[in-house]
Structure 1
Amino acid sequence: MNIRDIIQSVFNIKNTDIHLIPLKQGMTNDSFIFSINNERYIIRVPGVNTEKIINRHQEFEVYQAIKGEAFVEPVVYIDRDKGYKISKFIENSHTVNPKDWNEITACLKRLKDFHSQSHRVEHCFDVFEHINYYESLMPTASKYEDYKETKKNIESLEPIIENLVKDWTLCHIDAVCDNFLVTENQDVYLIDFEYAAMQDPDLDVAMFIVYSLFDRQEIDRIIDIYFEHQVTPLKQYKIYCYIAMVGLLWSNWCEAKQDKELLNSSYAQQQYNYAKTFYQIVFNEARNISEFGELVNHHG
């Protein structure tokens, strides 16, 4: 079925004159705007190789779990096999500007509110499992000469994270600025739950950080905002661990996509840099924190 066939089937219409307006070409999907009865919608069309990266059945389960949740995208149709999705267009809205701290504060509050709803699904997101899976999709060895050393360092963080207290709830996993919409009324919507799964919400904070390429000073400010100025050093270094882990995760994701333009982008390089830099920060600094230092010394 082509895109127009899907739209006609979902809305039970025979009018073939459906005008599709390209909205954006994302890293995993393309999106188009169309109108039915003067109401606008977005149809998401899966991109090349997306089926290797996204589990559509799990995504369908997530949208069932959050159905009716305020301030998440209003989905009217989702294909659990092919990944086509139709949602209502959120009028008078824009993606969050990572340079606007008022907007950053608003979407971190929305993310924390979402975590507090304690939605549950049957699947979880294992960071190291995905690191290895994306690595298996690479056509050749990593482009980074020190990849094996970097990966070994990141793997040494796993037992440290496993020994720290973790909450467990439905997380977005791809909680980046582009997946928050701010309306003219200053309402904030969370959209695109392709990767969502059960995880530690602290991981979502790290996800929010790495996509927009924030520096350390900005990262500390984001952590402080999310935890309402009550973050502990232990919590801060735990999120640093997550930043290192997801840096390698998305670096491998970039290599798995086999897209030359993406691989040569500042985004891909910075993800790998996050892995290396924040691993060093954790092991150079966290030893001074009693509980964290014991774990670092034991597993380092």
Structure 2
Amino acid sequence: MNRNVIICRSILENPAITQRELAQALDVSLGTANNLVKECISEHLIALAGAGGAYELLPSGLELLKQYKVDGALIIAAGFGSRFVPLTFEIPKGLLEVFGERMIERQIRQLHEVGVQNITIVVGYLKEKFEYLIDKYDVKLLYNPEYSSKNTLTTIYRAREVLRGRNMYVLSSDNWMRHNMYHAYEGGAWYSSVFMEGETSEWCLDYNKKGRIGSVSVGGIDQWVMYGPSYFSKEFSEKFLPVLEAYYELPGTEQFYWENVYMDMLSGEAAKRLPNLKEAHDDIDMYINRRPEDEVYEFENLEELRKFDIKYQRHSDNEAMELVARVFKVPESEITEIRCLKSGMTNKSFLFKVKDRHYICRIPGPGTELLINRRQEKAVYDVVAGLGITEKIIYFDGDTGYKIAE
């Protein structure tokens, strides 16, 4: 990580910045920040602008920043979001609203605020739902045809030419950042991190005094973990993409995240898997970007989202949730332990709990009315009711095909 770039960037953004604020931006002690400022002054990157303590960015500093300019952003939005059913039966997770603003739109807006306009969104599930963003924000959409059977390794593989030779943010459409953490210039590749107290199953980071990540392990206690956005510098992608491309061809990597490849590069596992690939044996630099508490959010499920935005405790704007609440005469907040059931040929279904009992809600898939007469199906259930040969039906609509069973 080029710390001089961070100093020059910070002064460009705020000439009146204090050394204490620089220390915070650099994630170093005040003494270290003072020494780095002196170094930048001696190298004629910055200068004191006057008695008021403000700094001035010199032509050499501006020249330094040019090679570290952010070229754009890649937003991953291809997945289904099974832990957010039934909401994601109707809308992709990244298009869910938090405090009245869609999560992906918040990130696009934050990127635009710092001048990052070149944005590509990798889509898959319900890809047509993202098309309005083309006109609204002038983004590009890139379709990943393998979204339903493979993980984010494949997403990055499909978008590799968008990343190659560029400095790019790599974001998830379903992240929410309280403050704008993006910049026009970045000093090197990084991964956002938050501190998790106690036991965690997240991906934990080990790093040196300068913040360079040395290893990644899954699970730990009281750890800084991978959480939120990341940034791929040109230099990072030059080493990383050839290894990811080779991993894409390896059997057994279909469910890998792109982070699995990076983790294997750090541990030496990639060199073992790919003995003839030079890049798999090279050191690769990525730095921890430690973020303050309550700044970055990755909502794991609807329960977490309900705690954050109380709107989802009362009204989720989802047809299935509204139906369940109406049938059981409860507020949506009392519908808990929601889990996706694997979609069948004709239906989408989810499990849930109300008042200590578990139920299944079946949602007919599009076009199933051409295959199944739901009124006849309901009539059969009505005839055999009480014989104990079917599941216990709580609700069945012969027109829509919605069914709730214990």
Instruction: Output the TM-score relative to the length of structure 1.
Output: 0.31
Greater fraction of residues in strand: 2
Instruction: Output the TM-score relative to the length of structure 2.
Output: 0.25
Of structures 1 and 2, the one with the larger relative CO (CA 8 A, separation 6+) is 1
Greater fraction of residues in helix: 1
Larger radius of gyration: 2
